[in-house]
Structure 1
């Protein structure tokens, strides 16, 4: 999604922000960071930009009133894209804003890096981008070095692993009226309740862009939820039949270029009542999250590949067996043995591999 082989780090300012709920404060530097070491600059580029190479979801900056100017980050980056001479001053304002929303007791303090990049590529466009990054996790590193006729070992505490970016976002100078193109990384606080959403929701205020990647992802997630949780309310359906329905849906998305609900209902679901129930589930989702998925859209194979690992085709039988069902459901039969008082499956196959 994001490539940076032609990119350059134009400006960078570093500040530090704590957690106001823990009586911590923020520290603002007086001037931008000056980097004369080419190797250090390359390491920073790797630290900041490499994690975005595998990010596919694109977001927009939003505000609940629909007035983008009320989104603090939008307001700041719009000024920056218009006049980069204000860079350091605006980097301080962004840091103050981050401190203001760091109000959950589980949010960790850390260094904040505000950057201005040139020539970062996203979706085929080479653009200027503003980056906001935060390092929260510190590690201890050992350093072995020659010492006379042997070696000595030293260590450095509270160091940053450049292979692990905790939090970051890139805001690209394009589609300003829609809230810019934004990509996000958040590796920490994933299970920390309210603390897990402050980066995307409170600090940046983001909404996923409704493109083919997200339409494909939403449909596959909704269908999986429908088969695993909803369909039992209206039908008695066995676990192998559920797996078969999931396998057929994944096959459809892998083989088709365009999704069509009527076609999907006929070829995959195969039941009008179930298709109608699934349609209602989609409409509820669209209404609740204020997003339109649509009955037809171009299928994103990137999204299909990403979701494929979530579609489990495993039938678990007690703690003794796990049966992987990949093909014809008709080659699997289920029955009950009265003498043993146990259920059993019969599998048909032509050859053993």
Structure 2
């Protein structure tokens, strides 16, 4: 868990990074921004930069396809700064140049790049030093109202930044250096193919495979397997899919530790389904470079996060919704020849 309430800004440098494919350029500032005597700006910047990370749970690490971390540009320059071999402003300049080089898609927006040196951020219970990298791409127009000669005057500020809408950002925690540091990421504009350059081209990161990600990813694999793959080999009614998803979710909610063989036996049961699931899971591991352990501690926060994605509602035309939470055997499906309609029969003891 990440907390920034006790954090402080040590240094801040701002540069402008254009789109290389559009023949735009980068503009480097000559020195860091002086804000030590400003009583308002640090608080506004803290809100702008840090607030989006309050609900971030996924932790990433830097990586490189050649498995040599020093070839990852952001990791390389950040490590030099943490090791005292590069000053802060030089670090910010190198990061701006690297971002410019990977901004090669014609739809990537130019914007300001902010690099921040942070002290006393709280990560998983420990106070740490960190580097923050943030980019603003989208501007808005703000109205300004001020008193003038017994009345009010109206003006506006074009191309202004909304401090409640950070476009892109990452925080690099000075911890677990040999594994690629702890990296937190937000990307509010990652809605199209060109936007993935922030994570894939600029940062080059992969998810840290801890219990939170093990739990969340396993639940994702189960959900996708049930909804996309299982019916290719088995004739399954919608209620059967919901029942299987319910049993999967209940396993993770009721257990403290995940056990692969136990899960497959208690939840999937069918040997053919287990074999199909293993193949499906293996493909996920290969595609996302995320190896599942045979046993791991279940992270409650990851379970709660995924619970809303597990649909337990059976929708019948536009008239009825049946919420299925268990007891699949108390639900029967049939067809009424006289009415020419499908029907469900539900058995219960009490009505409330």
Q: Same fold (TM over 0.5)?
A: yes
Aligned to 1:259: 258
Aligned to 1:276: 275
Q: Using the TM superposition, name which of 328-337 and 78-87 deviates more.
A: 78-87
Q: Using the TM superposition, name which of 140-149 and 119-128 deviates more.
A: 140-149
* 2-structure distance, mates of 1:45, 1:201: 26
Q: Using the TM superposition, name which of 82-91 and 58-67 deviates more.
A: 82-91
Q: Report matched runs for 1:56-71 at 5 Å.
A: 56-71=57-72
* 2-structure distance, mates of 1:127, 1:84: 19
Task: Return the offset for 1:318.
Answer: 2.3
Aligned to 1:123: 124
* 2-structure distance, mates of 1:258, 1:39: 47
* 2-structure distance, mates of 1:101, 1:91: 16
* 2-structure distance, mates of 1:314, 1:84: 58
Q: Does 1:241 align with 2:240?
A: yes
Q: What do the CA deviations read for 1:174-218 (whole angstroms, capped 9, x no partner)?
A: 11111111110101032x11x121001100110111111111111
| TM-score under structure 2 length normalisation | 0.96
Aligned to 2:169: 168
The runs of 5 or more residues in structure 1 that have no matched partner are none
Residue correspondences, number: 351
Aligned to 2:157: 156
Aligned to 2:26: 26
* 1-structure distance, mates of 2:295, 2:55: 26
* 2-structure distance, mates of 1:161, 1:318: 43
Q: What do the CA deviations read for 1:36-71 (whole angstroms, capped 9, x no partner)?
A: 212111110111112111111111111111111111
Q: Report matched runs for 1:328-339 at 5 Å.
A: 328-339=327-338
1:83 match: secondary structure: coil
* 2-structure distance, mates of 1:250, 1:149: 65
Stretches of 4+ aligned residues off by more than 6 angstroms: none
* 2-structure distance, mates of 1:278, 1:143: 59
Q: Using the TM superposition, name which of 289-298 and 68-77 deviates more.
A: 289-298
| TM-score under structure 1 length normalisation | 0.95
Q: Report matched runs for 1:71-150 at 5 Å.
A: 71-83=72-84, 86-150=87-151
